[in-house]
Amino acid sequence: MHTTPPALAALAHAHSAALTAWVESLTSSPSDSVQGDIRALSDDGLVRCLDALSALARRVAQLQARLAAEVAERSPTDAAQSLAAQRGFSSPARLIAQSTGEGFATASRLMTVGTATSTRESLSGEQQPARYPFLAAALDEGTVSVAAAAAIASFLDGVRLRADARDLADAERLLVERAPLVGADGIHRLVKNLTAHLDPARVKLREDELREGRSLRLWEDRRGFIRLAGAFDPVNGAHLKTAVDALVGAELHRERDERRTSTASSSEVGTSDTEQADPVVAESRTIVQMNADALADIARLALGSSASPPSLRSATVVARIELDDLLATGDRSNRALRSDDGSAVNADTHEGTSADTGSRRVSWPSSGSRDGSESASGQGWGTLDGVDQPISAASVRELASAAGITSIILGSRGEVLDLGRSERYFSTAQRLALAERDGGCAFPGCTRPPQYTQAHHISWWTRDRGRTDLDNGILLCSFHHHRVHDDGWTIRVRDGRTWFIPPAHLDPDRVPRPGNRGPGLSRRRSRSATLSSVFGVPPPPPTATREVTRE
How confident is the model at residue 518, as a pLDDT? 73
Given a cut of 90, is residue 152 above it in pLDDT? yes
Which of 54-68, 237-251, 511-525, 531-545 shows the highest mean pLDDT? 54-68
Please tell me the predicted confidence (pLDDT) of residue 551: 34
Q: For residues 259-292, b (16+ Cβ closer than 10 Å) or e, as one string?
A: eeebeeeeeeeebbbbbbbbbbbeeeeeeeebeb
pLDDT surpasses 50 at 195: yes
Cα–Cα distance, 168 to 156 (Å, whole number):
7
Residue-wise pLDDT tens digits, 301-317: 887 777 777 667 656 77
Average pLDDT over residues 25-29: 82
pLDDT at 538 over 70: no
Cα–Cα dist 210/190, whole Å: 18
> Are the C-beta atoms of residues 381 and 325 closer than 8 Å to each other?
yes
When pLDDT is cut at 50, 70 and 90, the band that residue 390 belongs to is: confident
Does residue 549 contact residue 506 with C-beta atoms inside 8 Å? yes
pLDDT over 70 at 422, yes or no:
no
pLDDT of 535 reads 45
- 393 has pLDDT over 90: no
Res. 540: pLDDT tops 50: no
What is the pLDDT of the chain when averaged over all its residues?
76
Q: pLDDT at position 524, please?
A: 38
pLDDT digits (tens, 9 = 90+) for 482-515: 888 888 889 998 887 899 999 999 889 999 998 9
Q: Which residue has the higher pLDDT, 551 or 400?
A: 400
Question: Is it the case that residue 171 has pLDDT exceeding 90?
Answer: yes
Helix (H, G, I), strand (E, B) or coil at 130: coil
| CA gap 366, 398 in Å, rounded | 10
State the average pLDDT over residues 135-152.
93
| Residue 25 banded pLDDT, cuts 50, 70, 90 | confident
pLDDT at 93 over 60: yes
CA distance 186 to 163: 22
Judge whether 353 and 421 are in contact, CB under 8 Å: no
CA distance 192 to 175: 12
Q: Are 282 and 380 in contact (CB under 8 A)?
A: no
Distance of CA 1 to the CA centre of its chain: 58
- Residues 22, 19: Cα–Cα separation, whole Å: 5
- pLDDT at residue number 263: 54
Residue 133: per-residue pLDDT: 94
Instruction: Say what the pLDDT of residue 64 is.
Output: 93
- pLDDT mean over 5-33: 85
Q: What is the pLDDT, as a whole number, of residue 361?
A: 41
CA angle 366, 370, 374 (to 5 degrees): 55
pLDDT higher than 70, residue 327: no
Query: With bands split at pLDDT 50, 70 and 90, how would you rate the model's confidence at 550?
Result: very low
Helix (H) or strand (E) holding 201: helix 201-212
Task: Report whether pLDDT(399) > 80.
Answer: no
Q: What is the pLDDT of residue 217?
A: 94
Nearest to 517 by CA among 438, 447, 457, 419: 438
Residue 92: closest CA among 119, 63, 115, 69: 69
Among 70, 109, 96, 100, which Cα is nearest to 87's? 96
Q: Where are the domains of the chain?
A: 6-210, 316-425, 429-462+470-521
